[in-house]
Amino acid sequence: MQRRNELESLGQVKDHLAAGGEAVVVQGVDLSELTELNRSELHGWLFVGCLFADLAQEQGVREQGGQIFPRFEGLPYEPYRTGLYSAEELMMGYEDGGYPATRDFAIYAHGHRERHHPDGISIREALAQRIHDHAIDDALGEFLAENSGAGVVGVMGGHGAARSDPWYKQVARTAWLLARKGYLVVTGGGPGVMEAANLGAWLAGYDDASVIDSAIGRLSVADTFSGGEKEGTPEYLQAIRSYLQAARDCVSELSDTAHPPAASLAVPTWFYGHEPSNLFATAVAKYFDNSIREEGLLAMATAGVVYAPGSAGTTQEIFQDLTQNHYATYGIRSPMVFLGRERYQAEYGMIRSFAEARGMTEVYGDLLALVDSAEEAVDFIASHPPRPAVKHKPLYELLES
């Protein structure tokens, strides 16, 4: 579902002009052959990152009342993109030199250098990154409208989890079960637990769960993305290459038109660019701004979040999710499922006590679960659908009444 008043193809622009439609936003469209553009009333129209034939065409658009946000040149990314990334797009160039030769790495390196420039990030670069992240927001909204299925479930956990770790398998099985029930699985898009969840959804076209063991057997030849090597060393870079190559081999060997992957979403960030985006998500919403990405990742998980064992980042996400539930920030409250009784006993107990102390047990305290298996996690999600919150009248409506 496209946003209102937005056009993203030449055909849409032609049809809208022919119908004499109202002012719209035209984003990322090649308009160089649209000669009738300069003969049309364009007051209020906004052209964002569009391609024009020449300066004369641009001037004609302005004379007809249109406003133009110009394109950025010389960047390794397209600020005005109209869709999410795919793993294949981010991995472009891999065959020429491994991870450092990919588009993903080039964008990370560019962004990191700009962010750490002695004089600070330039205004031009800051604007380009903000526009890019807005474009990802826009494309993400369209993707979720078309792919949310039975609901969106987030799976969070440690980036350092080994592929041979028993929790990696539990997470993959959790995502496999969720995807087969029609849920859209969303993760932070990196390695470890995040990869396990996208892998499980990717394998959901297979009826036999033993395929998960088969995939993990292929993947665990390169057990962790760091390989236990010190960050910033040639050995570390080689470990990443081995990690990605094992995933590429797995994709190649288990891709089967008879067992198509379920849609799943990864939401990584170039802020942590040294971690490769995993290859098993069918769509990738990659951001420069990590704070926007973190908030949005939890906000979109409207059917609940499953927390597998993790470290500080996962702990941050738990309490950020609690805040969203407590205040019903996005109009609903949904399950928080802790996968790993021993690991999460303290956090689970703390949050239950917090809810009880504030009289919120029946508001969201009963949406907390402490489990040890994929089946328990998925059953709890399925039996506890999102709970709409009471809507309050906006203050501006009080002034208007």
Q: Of 69, 96, 121, which one is at a domain's C-terminal end?
A: 69
Residue range(s) defining the domain that contains residue 288: 139-388
Residue 48 lies in a domain: yes
Give me the percent of the chain exceeding a pLDDT of 70.
99
pLDDT at 390: 87
Same domain for 241 and 334? Answer: yes
Residue 338 lies in a domain: yes
pLDDT at 391: 87
Same domain for 146 and 51? Answer: no
Per mean pLDDT, which range of 1-5, 80-84, 227-231, 332-336 is the poorest?
1-5
Per mean pLDDT, which range of 120-134, 150-164, 385-399 is the poorest?
385-399
Q: Of 52, 69, 86, which one is at a domain's C-terminal end?
A: 69
Same domain for 332 and 224? Answer: yes
pLDDT at 272: 82
Residue 247 CA to residue 18 CA, distance in Å, equals 49
Same domain for 208 and 321? Answer: yes
Same domain for 149 and 265? Answer: yes
pLDDT at 274: 75
pLDDT at 38: 84
Let me know: does 274 contact 108? Beta carbons within 8 Å. yes
Confidence of residue 381 (pLDDT cuts 50, 70, 90): very high
> Mean pLDDT over residues 174-203, rounded?
98
The count of structural domains within the chain is: 2
Residue 351 CA to residue 324 CA, distance in Å, equals 13
Confidence of residue 392 (pLDDT cuts 50, 70, 90): confident
Same domain for 58 and 152? Answer: no
pLDDT at 275: 81
Same domain for 215 and 297? Answer: yes
pTM, 2 dp: 0.94
CATH number at residue 162: 3.40.50.450
| pLDDT above 60 for 1 | no
| pLDDT above 90 for 2 | no
Q: What is the pLDDT of residues 123-152, one digit of tens each?
A: 999 999 999 999 999 999 999 999 999 999
Q: What is the pLDDT of residues 45-55, one digit of tens each?
A: 999 999 999 99
Residue 279 CA to residue 401 CA, distance in Å, equals 53
Residue 198 CA to residue 279 CA, distance in Å, equals 8
Confidence of residue 35 (pLDDT cuts 50, 70, 90): confident
- Alpha carbon of 382 to those of 131, 207, 303: distances in Å? 37, 20, 9
Q: Of 20, 47, 69, which one is at a domain's C-terminal end?
A: 69
Residue 6 CA to residue 200 CA, distance in Å, equals 35
Confidence of residue 399 (pLDDT cuts 50, 70, 90): confident
Residue 269 CA to residue 289 CA, distance in Å, equals 7
Residue 246 lies in a domain: yes
Confidence of residue 386 (pLDDT cuts 50, 70, 90): very high
Residue 126 lies in a domain: no
Same domain for 147 and 59? Answer: no
Confidence of residue 4 (pLDDT cuts 50, 70, 90): confident
Residue 150 lies in a domain: yes
Q: At which residue do the structure tokens 């760091």 appear?
A: 226
Residue 323 lies in a domain: yes
Residue 230 lies in a domain: yes
Same domain for 150 and 11? Answer: no
Same domain for 61 and 158? Answer: no
Let me know: does 298 contact 321? Beta carbons within 8 Å. yes
Residue 247 lies in a domain: yes
Q: What is the pLDDT of residues 258-295, one digit of tens each?
A: 999 999 999 999 998 778 899 999 999 999 999 999 99
Same domain for 143 and 251? Answer: yes
Same domain for 177 and 316? Answer: yes
Confidence of residue 401 (pLDDT cuts 50, 70, 90): low
